[in-house]
Structures are given as C-alpha cells and as structure tokens.
A and B are shown apart, each in its own frame.
Chain A
Amino acid sequence: MKKKTTALAAPFGIWMAIFTIVPIAMVLWFAFTDANGQFTLANVQEIFAFDPSKGETLWEDSFVSTILYSLWLGFLTTVISLIIAYPLAFSISRATERVQLTMVMLVMLPMWMNFLLRTQAIKSLLSESGLLNQFIGLFGFGPLEILNTDAAIVIGLVYDFLPYMILPLYSVMVKIGKSEIEAAQDLGANTFSVFRRVVLPLSVPGILNGITMVFVPSVSTFVISTLLGGSKRMMIGDVIESMFVGEAPNMGVGSALSLVLMVLIFLCMACTRLVDKSDDYEKGGLTL
C-alpha cells in the first residue's frame, strides 16, 4: 500500500530528472568540453582571462569584474529592498485582518503588469526630461543624470523585486503573536528592546527568505540592466545572454559563466542557511 503511494511520485521524479538534472548536466558538459567534445579548461580560463602559455591573468580582459559588478549591484538591491520592505511588512502584519488582506493584494498586484513595461515607464521617469527631473526642477534643482547609471539599475531592480522582499517578511511577521510582544513589554522591554530581542530574531527566517528571493534574480538579471544602464557596462546575465543568442555566440564560455553564477549563488545561499539556526521553527515561505 505504502509502496504504491510512493510510486505516485515517479512521473514527477522522471520528469525532473530529464528536464532539470539533464539540462544542468549539459551546462556542465559544455563548460568543460571544446567543439570536438574533448575535455578542456579553456572556457573556464577564458572567464578569468588566464593565459596558460604565459601563466598569468589579464584582469582587464576577464569577466571577473563583471561578476563582481553584478554581485555588488545585487547586494545593493537586496539591502535597499530589505530596508524599505521591513517597516512596511511589519506595519501590514500588525493591521487588522481586513486591512492585511487588502495590503497584501496591493503588494502583489504590480506583478501583474508586465515588468518590461514597468521598467520602461521608470526609464522615461528617470530620463533627462522625465517627470522626476521636471519635478525637482520646480524647486530649482537638477536636472539629475540618473538614467544610464548604476543608480538607475538599482532603482529598477529594487522596484521590480520589492514585493519578493515584502511578502516573505510579512508571512513570518504575521505569525509573531501580539501576546509575545506584550510579554516582552511586560518584562520591561521598551519599543527598541522589543524590536531587537523579539521581533528581529523572530523575523530572521523571513529576512533570509526575502534576501534569497531578491538577491538571486537581481544578480542574474539581463534585461533591466540593458534598459536602464544603457549597455555601458554589462552584468553577468547580459554576458550569458550574448554568449547564447548574441551575434558571436560561444556556448562553451556561456556555460562556464552560467556555472560560475550558479555556484556563487548557491554559496551565498549556503551562507544565509548558516545564519538560520531555527530549523524546527517554521520556515516562512512565500505564500502568494
């Protein structure tokens, strides 16, 4: 009986093996073979612009700076999103049940407008003659040149992924009981102490979840950077895209870069899991 029930997962297992594990294995394969199917490290070496004949690395030709640049923008995006989302999520979680429902709906609703169009709207907002500059022009400032800078990319990324930070935070915070906060006050904790000793530690699972959900897509984005950053500097996603569908495709190097991106992201996530010691405490998942 039990065996039969277990077998229900077989189609899923087979499907995932073919369409998740095999493709990733192919990325590995392409990363470490040349056009003739021979094993090679050339693709990986190219990422670091390592010249085996000279035995040295030409940093300026390498993709290392691209990778670091992507990680940096992803980091900024994540931190800013967290700072913006935290108070919002907390105030939603303390509202009445009706208000909570409406607010959560309001957080999710923007995801239903195609993100490319929203990004384009931001682009026109930030442009030299855009509404933002017209607005600050009223006060005699500007015009600011935000478009085609890192700031524009980060603004776009924060804007796009903010809901992915708010929702996991909210879903954990809503479980923090009113009585736990009252108990802390009762034991002598002022507002700051309540936050530091109860609310913050109890929302750690949500913070980590939110960080993952914002950091991964923002590091690996390949559209927003092109639209808002003006193709001045490429992010790692842009490079991978050009390696696969660009004018001079190189699937080997593209695969090696994908591999590096994947490894980096899994390393970052492993770090967040180290912080999260609350295994038994219910993990805050994203509930849409």
Chain B
Amino acid sequence: MKTLSKIYNIIIFAILYFPIVMVIVFSFNSARYTPMEWKDFSFQWYELLFQNEEILSALSVTLEVALISTLAATLLGTTAAIGIHAMNKKLRSAMLTINHFPMVNPEIVTGVAFMLLFVALAVVLPLFKPGFFTLCIAHITFCTPYVVLQIMPKLRQMDRHLFEAALDLGCTPFRAFVKVMVPEILPGILTGALMAFTMSLDDFAISYFTSGSSAQTLSVTIYSMVKRPVTPEIYALSTLMFGTVLVLLVLANIGQIRDIASRKKRAR
C-alpha cells in the first residue's frame, strides 16, 4: 500500500514536471522556429534575450505592475480586514460576499467587464485608456481579496484583550495598533502580499483585456507569440524566472524544515 502510493505520487509529479523540463531543455536548443525539435546545445537564446526589447519591456511592465498592485492591495486589504472585523455580523458577511466575488467570478468575465468600464471612462478621462494605469487598477482589484482573506483568520484568532491591555498600559489607540495588532497579524499580511504578488505575476486573462499596446505584461506578450512561432528567448527567460523561484522556495523550505527540527528538539 505504501509503495503503491509512492509510485503513484512519483508518476503524477513526473507528468506535472515533464512539460516544464521540456521548456527548460529547449531554452538551450540552437534551432529556431522549429517547434521543439532538438538540434544543438547553445546559450544563444540567453544572449539574445538581453537584446530583445519586446520581452525586456514586457518583463519590466510585469514586475512594476506586480510590485505596485501588491503594495496597494496589501494596504487596502489590511485596512479593509481590520474594518470588516469590527463590523456587526450582517455588514461583515455582506462585505465578505463582495470580497469573494472577484475570486469566484470567471476571469474572462472580470476581464471584459473591466474592458467595458475602462472604454467608457476613457471617453471622459484619457487616463483610463488601456495601458499601464488600467493594468494596475485591475490587478489591485483582483489581488486585494486574497490579502483580506489571509488577514481575517489572524484577526479572529487574536486575543481581544491584547489591544485593551495595550490601551490599559498607556498606549494611544494608534500606538496600540502599531505595537500590538500589527505584529499579531503580520504573518497574514505577509502571506497575503506574497499571494497578491504571485497572482499578479501569473495573471493572463484579465491583463489580456485591460492592457493596451502601450504596456503589455509577459503573459500577454507570450500569448501574442504563441500564435506565431514562439521565439526561444521566452524559454530562456522563463527558465531564468523558474530557476529563481525554485531557489527561493528551496531556501524557504530548508528554513521551515530546520524550524520544525528545532521545534521538535525543544519539545523533548
């Protein structure tokens, strides 16, 4: 039974990773425009990558949008969570329903809805012409609910008397908030921010409908390439990004495992 489930897991993970390995392998392939046929080992796509204006600008747009929307969503989401937590039951559940909406609504519907809004607004305010600004607005909107959702449970778990104790010991409400409440919910804020960043980087459907020719994210650029043959520079870039994430995650994982080990030791 144990070996059977092990074999099963290995097969599933192998299938899950096979296409990724392919992308990585073909980032070192010298052939161009023949879709995934191996020729020679080469680093040429990595060299060409840093001369490809289209890809580099898409990368910088993607990162800038992700950074801006993460910051804004974290701020908006944290204040929202604290406010919603203080509400009565009815109002709270109404707010949480609104919060859930962008998460369960099909992305394509969210995307076209944004498109309709921005097209209408652009008539009056040129700022809303599809581009960097609209991308940011859209990303902030679909990232914020994840931040709220990560912080709410932390607020629920928090001892209500902590805040009162801080007031009792002479803190102003604001100081009590900064000194007691923020450290308590910080893990939630951080995971929320991390999720927002991931969601923003990963998004395709909503960006597709809200970005204009002036600013395109990587996934939108890749989409326009997938229709014509993909330039292997994209494989090189994806391999680099994947490698970066892999290294970061492995480091975090080692840290967590060490944490567990030391916790176990202390428990003894």
Contacts and interface: CB of A to CB of B under 8 A. Distances in A.
Direct contact of A and B (CB under 8 A): yes
Interface in B83-101: 83-87, 91, 95, 98-99, 101
Interface in A231-282: 237, 240-241, 244-245, 251, 254-255, 258, 261-262, 265-266, 269
Given A106-B13, A113-B242, A220 B83 contact: no
B108 A15 contact: no
A55 interface: no
Interface residues of A, number: 81
B59 to A, nearest CB: 12
Contact of A220 (B6, B23, B109): B109
Contact of A9 (B84, B102, B149, B223): B84
Contacts of B85: 5
A140 interface: no
B70 interface: no
Contacts of A125: 18-19, 22
Contacts of B242: 112-113
Q: Name the interface size band of chain B.
A: 35 or more
A225 B144 CA distance: 29
Given A227-B226, A255-B116, A244 B109 contact: no
A6 B105 contact: no
Contacts of B141: 15-16, 19-20
A258 B109 contact: yes
Contact of B144 (A6, A12, A24): A12
Contacts of A120: 35, 226, 230
B202 to A, nearest CB: 6
A115 interface: yes
A109 interface: yes
A5 B242 CA distance: 41
B98 A20 contact: yes
Q: Which 10 A-B pairs have the closest CB atoms?
A: A9-B83, A12-B80, A23-B113, A8-B83, A220-B106, A121-B19, A5-B86, A124-B36, A121-B22, A23-B117
A250 B246 CA distance: 43
B76 A117 contact: no
Contacts of B67: none
16 contacts: A9-B80, A13-B95, A15-B144, A19-B117, A84-B12, A109-B246, A110-B20, A112-B202, A113-B20, A114-B218, A121-B18, A121-B23, A222-B108, A223-B223, A255-B116, A261-B108
Contacts of A216: 104, 106
A2 B113 contact: no
B45 interface: no
Contact of B116 (A30, A103, A240): A30
Contact of A112 (B18, B195, B245): B245
Given A12-B79, A27-B113, A109-B246, A118 B19 contact: yes
Contact of A265 (B36, B102, B106): B106
Interface string B231-245: 000110010011001
Contacts of B79: 8-9, 11-12
Contacts of A222: 108, 205
Contacts of B52: none
A187 interface: no
B48 to A, nearest CB: 17
Interface in B246-262: 246, 249-250, 253, 256-257, 260-261
A105 B249 contact: yes
Given A11-B79, A117-B23, A240-B109, 14 more contacts: A5-B82, A6-B83, A6-B87, A6-B91, A9-B95, A12-B80, A20-B102, A23-B110, A23-B116, A101-B260, A109-B246, A113-B20, A159-B16, A251-B116
A21 interface: yes
Contacts of B22: 121, 124-125
